[in-house]
Chains A and B, each alone.
Chain A
Amino acid sequence: MSDTQQNSSGWGPGASDVEELVPEAKSYSANQLVVRRFFRHRGAIVAMITLAAVIVVAFTSIGVGPIPGWWNKDIATAYDKVGDGSPTWAHPFGQNTIGKDYFALTMRGTQVSLYIAFGVGLVSTLIGTLVGAIAGYFRGILDSLLMRLTDVVIIIPLLAIAAVLGRMTGGDVNLLVLALGVLTWTSLARLVRGEVLSLRERDFVMAARAVGTHPVRIIVRHILPNTVGVVIVSATLTIAAAILLETALSFLGFGVQTPDVSLGSLISEYKNAFTTRPWLFWWPGLMILAIALSVNFIGDGLRDAFDPRQTSTKE
């Protein structure tokens, strides 16, 4: 996949860890190097483990669809309420107002939010990168058109579109993901375009063009790998933002429809509870935080792995 070897060779000796890698470089392919660099990033490893744990627990505990999980309570049943619903052994995350098991609800919310977050992240990153790369590489009229399209999407308030879509889709999560993805790619497109504008003038791209490489190949093989830094930061922020966007929409009734839940809808439903029944706010809050942070650190690790020039050379 990556083209970093070629680039860094074009750039002479790179960052310190690349230099360390030079003697070994002969025995590893570019992909192996990426993997090795990634696994040297301690934060990224911890994040990987955390995210994996979150995913595994969320999906195995209450199961998915008809497949049952190991947790013995479900999200639909209102159980007898123990005290004020604060966490007990039977209900480790506590219970909500009518006695539903909050662990089950949080896990279901995590499933839905993971789906939304990654779905939106994927759709938005794909569109943004594609639009940005095409606009920046081909320039001219195509660039103008794509950038004006970007402007149109930027200036139409999300809530207006969401309200209309929400009424039409009736809370279908797939459509929600698509809608949010289609609305959040603009800043990435502009950033990628800027990068590409600069990259296309570089020697290695010019060389590729000179020998008649197909533009698609140039973009995919030579240009995109070099935009990985900005793409990854943007994607990690989008993933965190998608969870929140869905919260805002749920709040207005256009997000995930009851009785299904997402982390965002749980948090907004119990926003007034966070001083009085803190467990109702903090469990979904912690899950959002865990997902957002892990995604960010994984992103950090990926960026360092793909593009070793970005690691600080000091110390």
Chain B
Amino acid sequence: MSRSESTPVSDAPVLRMESVRKTFGGSVVLRDVDLEVAPHTVTALIGASGSGKSTLLRCANLLEEIDDGAIWLDGEEITDPRVDQDAVRRRIGVVFQAYNLFPHMTVLDNITLAPRRVHGVSRAEAEERARELLERLGLGGKADAYPDRLSGGQQQRVAIVRALAVRPRLLLLDEITAALDPELVGEVLEVVRGLKDEGMTMVLATHEMGFARDVADQVCFLDGGVVLERGTAEQVFGDPRQERTRRFLRRIVEAGRL
């Protein structure tokens, strides 16, 4: 069912984490986390707030420095202190929960900033690609608007376009629907579904269990900074082995979120 199985040539994982440990002050946020993300697959990180999902994503993008363990991107160890961190981040796209669009720039400038300044793409070329992506995500008329004139759903889709504009190898989505009104969640998730169909490799932290079950090839349940359970969506949601996973899912079901 996942594309990686049908394309064995590029089966080497895009992202690999081994025994990653991260502490903030005295508290351990990630302990001994292992993760493998195959090309063209979607990995969903689920778990309660504070279980370490967001931190895991920030570590993968080197926005946080890990205490121990190692992370590889396309076989290169990116946690090696000699590695150029800016070059690593250039290959990874991130979409944040709070969108983090640049309020002083138009939508178009938000999107073309990195292609032009980081990747040396000409303005014309960058804008052409940006407009094309905006069109595809149903934001055709918004290129010259400022972010604060858009709805939350539109802002988040712009943030996705901004992350995609540099053709990243890997896309990290950090609770991208958590700040949205319920009726706007659908339009953003639709975009993610479309990206999966195009073969984008993604890791997403999410509270949308229904969506995770739908779209994820691999589901990891984090609890207290540990990957307590991992497997296909059917395994984790249908037949969880750990008691804690079962309890977490039961709470979700009771809250009417699955």
Chains A and B belong together in one complex: no
Binding site for A on B (CB under 8 A): none
